[in-house]
Amino acid sequence: MLDECYDFNTQDVENIIYLEHVNLAQPDQMTAMVFYVEGLGLTRDPYAPDSSATMWINIGNSQIHVAKYDTPQVLAGHIGLITPSISLLIQRLKNIQNHKLITGTKFSWKIKDKFKKDLVPKEYSGQILHVTGPWGNKFRIYEHSKELGLHQLAIYYVLHYCKLNTSQSVAQFYQKFFQVPVTIVPSQKMVHIPVGPKQRVIFMEHENFCNENYTNYHIAIYISQFSQTYLRFAAEKLLFTQHRFTDKCDTLEETLKWKQFRTRDIINEEKEVVLSFEHEVRSLHHHYF
């Protein structure tokens, strides 16, 4: 019998099916252009409604949205990227390190040949680049290989810190409200949330993490169970509407109009906020899907 030989559950689609973008606002678009395009070798989306205030940077099927904002948004953690060639990337980073817009910023990079394999399959044997952007955002960049299981250019994961003894609560939150399976790694005080095929958001406890330093960056995800998920968040008054974007979604009618809603507070079973991390949650009927 086929069902005795194969686990067909591995082919099922979860509620969160796609990590579309990470939004990180920065004060200077030209410096951001040098870093992301000339340095990391990424491209601006030629079809996006870009302006002098916003850039949409393509990373395979995902993006980083770079909005112009006086206070830079620095992710409390790092973003894992996959690139076709580490050697070509190193040459690009060398080319910009003395650029007049980069000199004097927090930009840096270094090669890691030996590392703890807590975020990649144990079979992966490639190098890792640790790169810090001009305002302090950190990236770990891996060379494409079959072990990683994604395209040659991709956001592999987003790792975000959380307070000590809260990763279990974060896991329970995603299980309850997004109804996705989670992988808890107790030895690393870490939880993995699937956000698409081979993509994850990872939360890891850190003794120096301070939730009060959150600067309102966000991720955008697409979900398959839009109405049920919305109602779960609405019932607990966890919809986030006090943001700077036009899609306020204060009512159900507005939510249906924009085909998305936002949530920010991750709570524990006692309904205490354990982490602030904004999600832009979109329907599969959203016009950008």
* Whether residue 218 has pLDDT greater than 90: yes
For residues 268 and 208, the answer to whether their CB atoms sit within 8 Å is no
Whole-number pLDDT of residue 1: 45
**Which of these ranges, 16-25, 199-208, 250-259, 269-278, has the smallest mean pLDDT?**
250-259
Q: Is residue 106, in this structure, part of any structural domain at all?
A: yes
Buried b (16+ CB within 10 A) or exposed e, 16-42: bbbbbbbbbbbeebebbbbbbbbbbbb
Whole-number pLDDT of residue 217: 96
Q: Is residue 255, in this structure, part of any structural domain at all?
A: no
Q: Is residue 251, in this structure, part of any structural domain at all?
A: no
Mean pLDDT for 20-31 is 96
Mean pLDDT for 184-209 is 94
Give the chain's domain count.
1
Q: Is residue 223, in this structure, part of any structural domain at all?
A: no
Cα separation, 239 vs 165, in Å, equals 25
* Whether residue 32 has pLDDT greater than 70: yes
Give residues with Cβ within 8 angstroms of 91, minimum separation 6.
none
Whole-number pLDDT of residue 116: 60
Instruction: Residue 82: give its domain's CATH number.
Output: 3.10.180.10
Q: Is residue 243, in this structure, part of any structural domain at all?
A: no
Give residues with Cβ within 8 angstroms of 213, minimum separation 6.
76
Tens digits of residue pLDDT in 237-276: 999 987 777 888 888 888 999 999 999 999 999 999 999 9
Q: Is residue 96, in this structure, part of any structural domain at all?
A: yes
| Structure tokens that stand for 113 in this block | 């040949």
Task: State the Rg of the chain over Cα.
Answer: 19
**What is the span of the domain harbouring residue 186?**
15-217
Q: Is residue 26, in this structure, part of any structural domain at all?
A: yes
Tens digits of residue pLDDT in 164-175: 999 999 999 999
Query: In this prediction, what percent of the chain has a pLDDT beyond 70?
Result: 93
Q: Is residue 103, in this structure, part of any structural domain at all?
A: yes
Cα 208 from chain centre: 21
Mean pLDDT for 132-148 is 95
> Which residue in the block uniquely carries the two structure tokens 């081979």?
198
Report the Cα–Cα distance between both ends of the chain, in Å, rounded.
38
